[in-house]
Chains A and B, each alone.
Chain A
């Protein structure tokens, strides 16, 4: 029943580790996104994929690598985690088309780097 799901919901890890966050949507949407929400609640776009093709790649350290195995999934892999990576990461999806479509968000993954 869940439209956009993310796993895990919470992730606590040590500095220097590599971790992945998974996102799946069952809405049939063509475009998926990753956003980062910092400790001040500010949300910023990181990446976007349209039909498995990367279309947005903001100024994000290359330790962050998105991967879209199919249009229903967009995973985020983070290498060599740093303290500053601690944040809530949201996945979102929207229908295709040049203009239009509301973005629906997953529940978020709270990443804490110790």
Chain B
């Protein structure tokens, strides 16, 4: 069963604007972690941000913030003030503590930032 759902088609965003990438997840565990990774065209996987299931505050890392809505099981990534270098695939992932901390990934969102 799919545990992480990212359904948005490819997105175009104007430089300097904000973009929100949707991610919903499915788990019956109380303790879990949510991650976002960026994969630019060069191929590497870059860690962006982490949210623990017990964290009461939404995580922020520079221009990245995670809009965590636990009851709705969503963990949307918000990128503020988009830059051309933000053009990439973005993957949402969930770590389950009882799965030996494996990461289950969503299918990714493609973002293209246009000048």
Q: Which of B16-24, B40-48, B78-86 contacts A (4 or more CB under 8 A)?
A: B40-48
Q: Give the number of residues in A that approach B within 8 Å (Cβ atoms).
A: 29
Which residue in chain A gives the minimum CB-CB distance to B104? A45
Which residue in chain A gives the minimum CB-CB distance to B102? A45
> 1/0 contact trace for A89-114 toward B, CB 8 Å?
01010100011111111111010000
A99 touching B101, Cβ below 8 Å: yes
Interface of B is mostly: strand
B43 touching A88, Cβ below 8 Å: yes
Q: Which of A33, A99, A100, A110 contacts B102 (CB 8 A)?
A: A33
Q: Enumerate chain B interface residues (CB-CB to A < 8 A).
A: 31, 33, 35, 37, 39, 43-47, 50, 89, 91, 93, 95, 97, 99-105, 107-108
Q: Enumerate chain A interface residues (CB-CB to B < 8 A).
A: 31, 33, 35, 40-45, 48, 50, 55-56, 88, 90, 92, 94, 98-108, 110
